[in-house]
Structure 1
Amino acid sequence: MTFLKAAVIGLGVGEQHIEGFERHSACRVTVLCDIDHDRLAAVGARHPGRSLVSDPGQVLCDPNIDVVSIASYDDAHFQQVVTALEHGKHVFVEKPLCQTDVELDGIYRALLRHRGLRLSSNLPLRRVPRFLDLRARILSGAMGALYHVEGDYNYGRLHKITEGWRGALPSYSVMKGGGIHMVDLLLWFTGQRVTEVFAMGNRIASKGSQVRFDDMVVATLRFSGGAVGKVAANFGCVHPHFHRLSVYGTAGTFVNEPDGARYHFSRDPGDPVELVDNLHSGTDKGAGVAAFVNAILTGERPDVTEQDVFDAMSVCLAIDRSNVEGAPCAVHYREIG
């Protein structure tokens, strides 16, 4: 059996990727990397027996590494992903994959040049039990034809942009950095592509801080099959972190609220609703990594394919473009094949 040697770049959330890689007996994380020397030392102490490297370039060019996890700051993703691909490495990258259409095109071309390599991103809401159940019901026809979907990414952690590294980046995007989770869910549930978006936003909640981008962005969506939708990335909300979701079909409705989730299969207010008792939380950041390793070794489908990553990014880029231009924007897709 092929044995994979892995490296993790960025040891904030990336620390959780270590265990994900090593859930498979044929994969071992041999190198840890972070530009923060103190963090590198601390994580290295918790995970002994690995090489500790502070230069990402050294890791990306290392011929002994087969697969790399990129969990660095968002503005470093593009160059690191391309460099990894050009040096023959499979890539698992934290969202967002990159920041601009030009960068997405660059990664697309690199991936086409190296068709034997795999690429995926961490979109763990696909593993939430109640969302897995909802998708199964949609596929079974129990919800009827979907005609309207809504997803709100209520971040509830304003300090992470007013004080943290995200707010220091002039090009940070709340849609690509957070709202992409809901965009991916809506694409996954509907099985349709978004053809057109119309977005607007504001930065009222973070006014007076270091933030130079909209901390709230909302967009309407037009789907290829006729459904419509709405997605919001609300980083300034006075509300605990939550993924609010509504899915409307011709035979049923699903609502995910902070006080619980429920299904409606009747328009009669006197009829009982079906309460959902499976978990909303319970996923971990390493689960998608484990599925990705298995895909490399067996050829099976990972949780999130290359096409899934590019499609979600394409929608988010169109939303950001629409927000800037103040007009509807078509979504430009890249076909992986």
Structure 2
Amino acid sequence: MTSPRYLRAGVIGLGVGARHAAIYQAHARCTLGTICDIDEQRLQEVGAQHPDCRLTTDAADILSDPLIDVVSIASYDTHHGEQVLAAVNAGKHVFVEKPLCLTDREFEKIDAALCAHPEVQLSSNLVLRSFPQFQQLRQRIQSGALGRLFHLEGDYNYGRVEKLTAGWRGQIPFYSVSHGGAIHLIDLIMWLSGGRISAVVAVGNQITTHGTQFKYPDIVTALLKFTDGKTAKVTANFGCATPHHHCLAVHGVAGSFKHDFLGGVHYHSRDAAIPVELVNLNYDASFKGNVQRAFVSRILDGTPAEVSSADALNAMAVSLAVERSLSTNVWEPVQYARSHT
């Protein structure tokens, strides 16, 4: 693959996508070419920050522009699959907010397009692996400090139920709390453990948002089987009466690590008399741009991405299996992509 010297970027969707635009604009080897939003007022607000950038309300203007090298997709979830597919088929690199897509059929089409365009780089904004708290935890795991891992748990506690009951998530044709929330913990658990998930089984309910505009489960819990025998549990809890936060537990034969709203704890022993180690590294939004910056470097210089094409596809494949299990009520195998194994 021949690396370009400069990138011309386009951004679709200017909610969180406004941050994408700012990162491209600030990069010494990127030019922000076109930004898009269906809301004209929002488009003009963000456009005012980028006076040399073209503005459009039609995503096709970016997807069909031969001068655009990389596309950030931060539109409503229902548009991600079709926009990712169009970008890949046009030979454009893609940085997409989760989820990559919503359905197995969309996933299969994107996988086929990536097989046909192996030069295209893909990444998704799965940001938890960027945070120092979890990067150091991975180092602890790899050093053997926890021993052989046997079980992991992750909770995505959204704490913003009004975004389901009054926002766009309850107005689009379909919204998945697994694809929109649990996928962060799915990716984190796979990255920390280095394992491959073979099958999942899931349950959920809609007690919190019953009677509102939102018509889908607002909490989903999935059990995960790894190929090497490990187990895991992941929950997307959008109805919780807590602030937004993530919980994580990693259990090994020699130690355990737990992280929640109050911080992290490393348990070095089963003996209650042995002091625990408090671990409270920086855990804030300032690291959220690192995945995108690393993706740009991947395209320009061939350096490793923080979230590779395979990482993005693998997390999506697991989340799709969670959605299938919600419908079938049985264990569902994870159907991984062929383009990146």
TM range (shorter): over 0.9
**Deviation sequence 1:37-79 (CA, Å, 0-9, x none):** 0100011112222111111011100011111100000111111
How far is the alpha carbon of 1:213 from its aligned partner? 0.6
Residue 154 (str. 1) matches residue 157 (str. 2): yes
Stretches of 4+ aligned residues off by more than 6 angstroms: none
How far is the alpha carbon of 1:313 from its aligned partner? 0.6
Q: Which residue of 2 aligns with 1:72?
A: 75
Q: In structure 2, what is the Cα distance between the partners aligned to 1:29 and 1:284?
A: 21
Candidates 260, 272, 288, aligned match of 1:257:
260
Q: In structure 1, what is the Cα distance between the partners aligned to 2:160 and 2:134?
A: 23
Q: What aligned pairs does 1:68-147 form with structure 2 within 5 A after superposition?
A: 68-147=71-150
CA RMSD, aligned part only? 1.1
Residue 50 (str. 1) matches residue 53 (str. 2): yes
State the TM-score, normalized to the length of structure 2: 0.96
Q: In structure 2, what is the Cα distance between the partners aligned to 1:285 and 1:255?
A: 22
Give 2:312's aligned amino acid.
Answer: V
Q: Which residue of 2 aligns with 1:277?
A: 280
Conserved 8 A contact 2:131-2:287: no
How far is the alpha carbon of 1:23 from its aligned partner? 4.3
Q: Which residue of 1 aligns with 2:196?
A: 193
Give 1:6's aligned amino acid.
Answer: A
How far is the alpha carbon of 1:282 from its aligned partner? 3.8
Candidates 15, 20, 25, aligned match of 2:18:
15
Q: Which residue of 1 aligns with 2:30?
A: 27
Q: In structure 2, what is the Cα distance between the partners aligned to 1:283 and 1:233?
A: 23
Q: In structure 1, what is the Cα distance between the partners aligned to 2:75 and 2:191?
A: 26
Identity over the aligned pairs, expressed in percent? Answer: 48
How far is the alpha carbon of 1:283 from its aligned partner? 3.7
Stretch moving more, 1-10 or 275-284: 275-284
Q: In structure 1, what is the Cα distance between the partners aligned to 2:325 and 2:278?
A: 37
Conserved 8 A contact 1:151-1:231: yes
Q: How many residues align structurally?
A: 337
**Deviation sequence 1:246-295 (CA, Å, 0-9, x none):** 00011110000222211001111111100013122244443211111100
Conserved 8 A contact 1:170-1:213: no
How far is the alpha carbon of 1:92 from its aligned partner? 0.5
How far is the alpha carbon of 1:171 from its aligned partner? 1.8
For structure 2, list consecutive stretches of 5 or more residues without a partner in the other structure. none
Residue 241 (str. 1) matches residue 244 (str. 2): yes
Candidates 175, 180, 204, aligned match of 2:178:
175
Residue 2 (str. 1) matches residue 5 (str. 2): yes
Give 1:172's aligned amino acid.
Answer: Y
Conserved 8 A contact 2:63-2:90: yes
State the TM-score, normalized to the length of structure 1: 0.98
Conserved 8 A contact 1:34-1:40: yes
Q: Which residue of 1 aligns with 2:294?
A: 291
Stretch moving more, 45-54 or 70-79: 45-54
